[in-house]
Amino acid sequence: LGIGCSGAGYLLWCTALERLEASKVAAWLYLEPLVTVAVAVPVLAEPVGLLTIAGGLLVLTGVFIVQRK
């Protein structure tokens, strides 16, 4: 986990900070729960409810708004 998840995450974070403002990079952290759900559904057979989908759409909308110029 340290090399795979944390190491790759840190490397991607630093690479993103070289190319974008810190405030725009920070907004991408809100996608983490969506990635967790996307992995949990096939791996753990987690059910996805209407509230999860609605919350995901709200998160995507928020990240989109922050990334606009």
Q: Model's pTM, two decimal places?
A: 0.64
Write down the pLDDT at residue 1.
66
**According to the model, what pLDDT value does residue 58 have?**
93
Contact between 27 and 63 under an 8 Å Cβ cutoff? The reply is: yes
Handedness of CA 49, 39, 14, 17 (dihedral sign): negative
Tell me: the pLDDT tens digits for 37-69? 888 899 999 999 999 999 989 988 988 888 886
**pLDDT for res 24:** 84
What is the predicted pLDDT for the residue at 61? 92
| Residue 59 identity | V
Task: List, for residues 5-28, the tens digit of each pLDDT value.
Answer: 788 888 988 999 999 888 888 888
Structure token pair of residue 42:
């096939």
What are the structure tokens assigned to 57, written together? 């759409």
